[in-house]
Structure 1
Amino acid sequence: MSPEHNSIRHDRDSVARTALALLDEVGLADLSMRRIAARLDVQPSALYWHFASKQDLLADLSDRITTAIGSSETDVLATARAIRDSLFAHRDGAELVLSTYALRRGSFLAQTALIAALRRSDVDDAEDRAAALLHFVLGHATLVQQRMHADSYGALPADGPVDVTAGLDRVFDLGVTALSGVERSPAAPR
């Protein structure tokens, strides 16, 4: 593609928004720099003006997925639910955030929100508990997304439950409550 062919200039934000839209369409496994570039009608090398590597782009997407969490939630369980729900808002959102977190490149917003919620609950070891909670939330959300994908492809056993996520809210709440050391708020049923 020649510069004359593509007169639209893309910035970091437009590249990331396009990548996030593609993530929702094709999933993490099929999200490539080549595919993003094709959607933007540019050469793949043009993306590297905005992101030094695909991992940098994925870290940015991870932050975008979790940015809505903030620390506005009133308690630990509500914060954990907000994180989980933000992961569910995007196809393979949990897997993407988990992978960037594993490489220490993303998910800082989620961990910061958990630390703040734990501190509001007067938990002494808020940083350690926040890390444990984030591990649990990421693992739980990844499990649920994997089950939903398998169900959508008919890959689950036919004799299993109709709703592949049945009972998982209860398990999620139990795990968050146990790990946080904070009693569940009576005003927070799900």
Structure 2
Amino acid sequence: MQLSVDSIVVAAMDILDRYGLADMTMRRVASTLEVAPGALYWHIKNKQELISAIAERILDSADQADFDGAPAVDADHPAVTIARSCAALRQALLSHRDGAELVMAAMTQPDSTLRPRIVDAFTEELVGIGLDAATAHAGAQALLHQVFGATTFEQAALQNRELLSGDGASTSGAETSDPGVRLLLDALTWRD
């Protein structure tokens, strides 16, 4: 196999999905690819860069997803489009073990563009339904916090149930929508 950024990211994502973020080490990735750990550093500078690359893939999957589940609001809600975006993001995070934790770790790295990418997209959608720029930006940040906080909590609960049951049940793909997103969108779109 030709070692590349893509092959490293794919191997790391497989480890992430099987064992979680804590066990996704550069040494384990190298072992999976049957190369010396030093060989990875020709392509990926460090674990933080690897985390960022995986986070980009997860967010790209949310952007490209054709979300077909039930968003947090009804189809006639003025913010149904952003509700679908929040649901697609949540679904992408849940599709990988520790997905929310990993993307949050990437967003907090210096010079990361991931957080502004999400906030700007949410802000644009909220401005598109008539909110002023300041309210839309604050609402976008609140939605980001809600989606990531709720998803992190949900992933931890799913993994704890898996550990306690011992049956190896999947920790991804929960079907329910996030009621916090609905509350925020109802508040943001409420008019006198």
Q: Aligned-pair RMSD on alpha carbons?
A: 2.6
From 77, 92, 98, the counterpart of 1:92: 98
Alpha-carbon distance between aligned partners in 1 of 2:129 and 2:24, rounded to the nearest angstrom: 40
Alignment partner, residue 162 of structure 1? none
The one-letter amino acid of 2:45's match is A
Out of 124, 130, 149, which is 2:140 matched to?
A: 130
- The one-letter code sitting in structure 2 at the alignment partner of 1:31 is M
Structure 2 residue 84 is matched with structure 1 residue 78: yes
Q: CA deviation at 1:93?
A: 0.4
2:162 matched residue in structure 1: 152
| Gap regions ≥5 residues in structure 2 | 68-79, 166-173
Most deviating of 97-106 and 48-57: 97-106
Shift of the 9–182 alpha-carbon distance from structure 1 to 2, 3 Å rule, reads same
Counterpart residue type for residue 105 of structure 2: S
Residues in 1 aligned to 2:189 and 2:13: alpha-carbon distance in whole angstroms:
35
Q: For residue 182 of structure 1, what is the aligned residue in structure 2?
A: 189
C-alpha deviations, 1:51-107, integer Å up to 9, x for none?
A: 111101101111111112328886111111111111001111011112222335334
Cα distance change on mapping 1:80 and 1:110 into 2, 3 Å: same
Q: 1:1-190 counterparts in 2 under 5 A?
A: 8-70=1-63, 75-104=81-110, 105=112, 106-124=114-132, 125=134, 126-154=136-164, 169=177, 171-178=179-186, 181-182=188-189
CA displacement 1:94-139 (0-9 Å, x = unmatched): 1111222233533454334322322222222233322221111111
Asked whether the equivalents of residues 84 and 137 of structure 1 are also in contact (C-alpha less than 8 Å), the reply is: yes
In 2, Cα distance between equivalents of 1:170 and 1:130: 15
Greater share of helix: 2
User: Does the CA contact (< 8 Å) of 2:21 and 2:102 recur in 1?
Assistant: yes
Query: 1:5 maps to what in 2?
Result: none
C-alpha distance after superposition, 1:5-42 (max 9, x if no partner): xxx32111111111111110111111100000011111
- TM-score, normalised with respect to structure 2: 0.75
User: Unaligned 5+ residue runs, structure 1?
Assistant: 1-7, 156-165, 184-190
Count, aligned residues: 165
Structure 2: which amino acid aligns with 1:61?
I
The Cα shift of 1:48 comes to 1.1
For residues 157 and 25 of structure 2, what CA distance do their matches in structure 1 show?
24
Structure 1 residues 44 and 178, CA gap change in structure 2 (3 angstroms) = farther
Aligned amino acid, residue 54 of structure 1: K
